[in-house]
Amino acid sequence: MGSARQALIIGGTGMLAGCTERLAEQGWRVALPSRRPRERQSPGVVAVRAEWSAPELFAERVADALSGPVELLVSWVHTPWREPVLRACERLLTEAAPTVEVWASASADPVRNRPEPVLARRGCHQVLLGFHRMNGRSRWLTNAEISEGVYLACLAAIAGEEPRVHAVGQLRPWSARP
């Protein structure tokens, strides 16, 4: 399969689809697990049938679909599956693989309620999703805005930048959200 770097994007079929596509366009081989994977994927994207509710099987199916270890993990996994899925997938990562965790909530302030990264020792970049406010009106972020913000966090992680929190959109005041 060549020497393409490999990424695992958990939660990358919907709002993170743009990030998935950009990494693939940059030459990454991207594993994209989903309960209902699309038959036809873009070049560089490997569809994997897997469900969060079975974390060990999830990781096994991802491993079977790839030709070696994962060099970047991007995850947007909801509670209560977040920790078990990420722990199960940790064995797929190279020792130096950075992680990017996406965190959002329509009801709870993502800054105050942000959990600790599951794989913190790996240099986890966290992406907090907010909202957009203009002319006294608020709206949730678009898929393109979310994907771009997560992609930029991926670039920082890949470049070996110090792990940090990346805000996408406005996070304050949380009471101004839509």
Q: In the chain, where are the structural domains located?
A: 6-176
Contact 24, 42 (CB under 8 A): yes
Return per-residue pLDDT of the chain as tens, 178 residues.
456 899 999 998 889 999 999 999 999 999 999 988 776 678 899 999 999 999 999 999 999 999 899 999 999 998 899 999 999 999 999 999 999 999 987 777 888 888 889 998 888 999 999 999 999 899 999 999 999 999 999 999 999 999 999 999 999 998 899 9
Superfamily holding 6-176: NAD(P)-binding Rossmann-like Domain (3.40.50.720)
Residue ranges with strand state E in the chain: 6-10, 29-34, 45-49, 72-75, 99-103, 124-129, 131-134, 137-140, 165-168
Residue 37: what are its φ and ψ, rounded to 5°?
Answer: -65, 145
What pTM did the predictor assign?
A: 0.92
